Amino acid sequence: MLNETVVTLQGWVGGDVSLRQAGEAQVASFRLGSTPRRFSRRSGEWVDGETQWFTVNAWRGLAENVAASVHRGDPVVVHGRMNASTWVSNTGVEVISLEVDATFVGHDLARGTSVFTKTPRTAPPRAEGEPESSTTAAA
């Protein structure tokens, strides 16, 4: 698609990951808090800015991997398409909600270590009587 806003965010998982069914696909969602940090020349110290909150949605296979791997408090890096939606709260206040449809999600290894487990690939179903090929056996 043209003119999509693609972003890479670094932050901390602010709550539990929820996994739900959306039609034929699974989607995992979590809140990501990102706090900018800048050096203040005036005080000579690092100063935290205002935390920005994003809802991250991961779909299909990524959803399952995120639900199994990402937990509240984890430092993560997220890459995906940014969407902004405007709605009116119960109190009548207009709210802008920022959501990211994630393409990639991973632990921020600048903040710690992680262990990777490769997801096994499933072979496409074979026709009855079809011999197993060497490429299917290797997968």
Domain layout of the chain by residue ranges? 7-110
Give the distance from CA 69 to its chain's centroid. 11
Which tokens is 93 given? 């206040």
Q: For residue 122, give the H/E element and its range.
A: none
Q: What pLDDT tens digit does each residue of the chain (139 aa) get?
A: 567 899 999 999 999 999 999 999 999 999 999 999 999 999 999 999 999 999 999 999 999 999 999 999 999 999 999 999 898 999 999 988 899 999 999 999 999 999 989 888 776 666 666 666 555 455 4
Residue 102, burial from CB neighbour count under 10 angstroms (0-12, 13-18, 19+): buried
Q: Give pLDDT, residue 125.
A: 65
Q: Give pLDDT, residue 139.
A: 47
Report which of 58, 6, 50, 49 is spatially closest to residue 31, judged by C-alpha positions: 58
7-110: CATH topology:
OB fold (Dihydrolipoamide Acetyltransferase, E2P) (2.40.50)
CB 104 within 8 A of CB 128: no
